[in-house]
A and B are shown apart, each in its own frame.
Chain A
């Protein structure tokens, strides 16, 4: 077998090279975790913007006052404890044993600085419920909200604390490249689009991390990500391609891990007198029966099986069950099961036996299989006579296009997630009557308006007690499920793959966090 020989030489050579290239074998003390992400981080300054990859880095480098765990439970972070002084004033006691990566001690002044800077930044939205704040002493901070607001701790879990000294000395722009926080990891090296390396902060106040070094590699192409996992270049990958799930499952030494995401794909129905894309004098969707017919004509199980390859979870309500405002036992799917016959009857009762025309606005590069879902919806709705025109566009155009007052839209497909674990923030912006109150109804694309829902949202936003907030929001949920201003479709599935030995439990918020992980070989 002459032909074989050169290949064997090559293989031997490669084996030798691999050995030479990994002197790390000797120092197996250091645990290195290599993570394949879908995209590189854009920012390391948590007030400059947000997307998943940046968020992942933020929580390694910085800490919030309140920590959100993998299951959306909220607990102490940099704040040890907190209490309500009066209905709108919260007092937070800060840990006094925390040091920033640059050696500066963490104090109340850093919290004040962080909030000041946040208010003037692109991410001001994160502090929308905070009216004022002040340092009482070195380790006590007082925060006032505009009105009684029970979910303040949930909001604070998304605000990461910066060091005043560092930001002022390196300058605004450099914070993005030289981040300094109190988090479990410090930035070691960032080669844009190639790798971002973090090193354990041995002094971390909650205990030194198990994994000493984390290398994040942005690999956009899903097939390459899978390949790099199989070759051992990566230990774990995010967003394993649906196509590769079976392939990786078959392979020895690897595991596929899935978890429903928080992102609820929803269809907003226009409720205005006259709808932009429906060529009729009155908008049929003002009639609840038409909205119910549309809900019943959509077969979420088929969507899940055929379009999503089984990797989606039909949504029961507008928020997942972990959230404040979720009603135990209530299910949109049970209230309006897929039933074309009943849907046709409802359309006839409402006076539209022959249906009508309208346009669906949807993205084609934002959600998993969004364009295919839109096509499936068109064929499902054609069963009840609704002639659905598809208007698909990239996300760069989409969010400006559908923006309230949504003057070109009747039917919009988009996703919504509430990582703060609170339906209130979603209901306030999506279901509160638009245009009457600053900070409310700005994403109410269908112009839904129900005084009862408005009242409940306001009631929820005016109690400092979380149980009362929950009760008001649950009432609102019940009304919304009855009113159908929006059809919840499904939650996408988050899919990860890891080699054996990686100890990993996916987080609901999708923020991969090495501090919670370990490697056992």
Chain B
């Protein structure tokens, strides 16, 4: 187990280093950040002054070396545009993104898994067909369209929920959250539902496929024969064995939603970190992009690790090594 953990840590370090190199290389092809922060008619002397202030007067390898040196000391660099530590900019927006992602994943899990189990166990029934066509709609509808329709119906036409923004928050353990206020919840619902749709449909289809496979196995017949209840057969014996791919996809989707909830955040003016990434790309704000993508890589690595551990819990035959 220890060897496994060390191996994983080394892998992680390599992934993070690779991400930083790639981003540095990529950013040398995009625009010059200096022109994003100074007036267009600045003179050469003013441009030089700005470069010095931003540390852009050094060569690319030198900048990268400085970045690594600072990184070791826990300094992730400063945004060219905001002039604040890049990590702080991201971390102050992270809780808002996590909120809608967690709620979206809960919606997806609690809706998709029972429906998927039902559709997988009763493939021929009309309700199953309905569920399956519904899931196709969920996969094919673009998120921005769904978001706009939800705003149009629930906010503009029916006046049930607010159209955008995060609403009231309270501070718990130093983190602002809107999940503990009523106003916050009214704001969370629409973006979370929008965000959950794609994931919901994918998980539903994977659960169904797994269930159809599993339900043909002998041990299901055996469980039925020994008189286990229908619920027990479906969830205890069936779902448990169909769960491995579901967990894998679930993990990947969480990472994906955290890192790239950009569109949903933009539509609902949700103050999350996805929008920061897009804005930073537009502004050629390299320090923020580097830290953002490294953080995303870290999140994916951690999620994969957790998923591996969950495998062993679901299926005792699997061990980590």
Show the binding face of A for B, using Cβ within 8 Å. 7, 10-11, 14, 17-18, 21, 39, 42-43, 48-50, 120-126, 128, 173, 176-177, 191-195, 217-221, 223-224, 227-228, 230-231, 233, 365, 394-401, 403, 425, 429-430, 438-439, 442-443
Contact = CB atoms under 8 A, between A and B. Distances in A.
B50 A191 contact: no
Of all A-B residue pairs in the complex, the 10 with the closest CB atoms, nearest first, are A193-B271, A396-B31, A400-B32, A194-B271, A219-B269, A397-B31, A399-B35, A429-B41, A396-B284, A227-B163
Contacts of A228: 155, 162-165, 269
B131 to A, nearest CB: 22
Given A221-B266, A394-B282, A399-B31, A49 B81 contact: yes
A17 B182 contact: yes
Contacts of A401: 31
B61 interface: no
Given A227-B152, A227-B156, A228-B163, A396 B41 contact: no
Contact of B39 (A14, A123, A220, A224): A123
Interface in B30-84: 30-32, 34-46, 49-50, 53, 81-84
Contacts of B36: 395-396, 399
Nearest to B285: A396
A233 B163 contact: yes
Nearest to A416: B40
21 contacts: A14-B161, A122-B49, A125-B39, A173-B84, A176-B84, A191-B176, A193-B269, A193-B271, A194-B165, A219-B165, A220-B266, A220-B269, A224-B148, A227-B156, A228-B162, A228-B163, A233-B163, A396-B36, A399-B36, A439-B43, A442-B43
Nearest to A172: B83
Contacts of B53: 121-122
A397 B26 CA distance: 13
Given A221-B267, A439-B43, A48 B164 contact: no
A14 B163 contact: no
Contact of B30 (A10, A397, A430): A397
Contacts of A43: 82-83
A224 B163 contact: yes
A50 B81 CA distance: 10
A128 B43 CA distance: 9
Contacts of A17: 182, 186
Contacts of B159: 11, 14, 18, 231
Given A231-B159, A233-B163, A223 B148 contact: yes
B240 interface: no
Contacts of A430: 41
B155 A396 contact: no
Contact of A219 (B44, B164, B272): B164
B156 A438 contact: no
Nearest to A439: B43
B205 interface: no
B269 A365 contact: no
A396 B281 contact: yes
B71 to A, nearest CB: 20
B282 to A, nearest CB: 6
Contacts of A403: 35
A512 to B, nearest CB: 18
B185 to A, nearest CB: 11
A11 B160 contact: yes
Contact of B45 (A42, A173, A231, A438): A438
A442 B48 CA distance: 14
Contacts of B268: 224
A445 to B, nearest CB: 11
A135 B175 CA distance: 47
B165 A443 contact: no
Given A122-B37, A193-B271, A395 B165 contact: no
Contact of B81 (A42, A123, A126, A223): A42
B82 A227 contact: no
Contacts of A125: 38-39, 41-43, 46
Interface string B93-110: 100100000000000000
A124 B49 contact: yes
B92 interface: yes
A418 to B, nearest CB: 10
Contacts of A425: 41
A219 B147 CA distance: 14
A499 B183 CA distance: 24
A354 B39 CA distance: 40
Given A49-B37, A192-B92, A227-B156, A233 B283 contact: no
Given A49-B81, A219-B269, A233-B163, A400 B35 contact: yes
Contacts of B96: 194
Given A173-B84, A224-B163, A233-B163, A191 B43 contact: no
B158 interface: yes
Contacts of A194: 96, 165-166, 269, 271
B43 A224 contact: no
B151 interface: yes
A396 B40 contact: no
Contact of B156 (A218, A221, A231, A400): A231
Contacts of B208: none
